[in-house]
Amino acid sequence: MKGIDGCAYGKNREKGVKEMSWKPQDIEELHKQAQNHMFCPYYASKDRVGGADLIFMPYNYLIDDKIRENYEIDFSNSIIIFDEAHNVP
């Protein structure tokens, strides 16, 4: 895991993986925890997604090939539930 040059939070990606709570959190709670422990909440969440049993994300993350590749999303053997499925082409 590489840190982001010039960003103290990005340089602490490994710390974020270890320090971030596994309990469900809203964005404000995650932001506060990241500030307190000096890690990037975005990269910590992205780095830990492989160990999660349940993931919430915008539907376009699954539908758009480029986004799916960027996030390395493999949804084989997964159950996918779409909210607002009328938006799915």
pLDDT tens digit sequence for 57-77? 888 888 888 988 887 778 888
Angle at which helix 27-37 crosses helix 41-48, to 10 degrees, equals 110
DSSP, collapsed to helix, strand or coil, labels residue 27 as helix
pLDDT surpassing 70 at residue 88: yes
Q: pLDDT band at 1, cuts 50/70/90?
A: very low
Residue type, 22: W
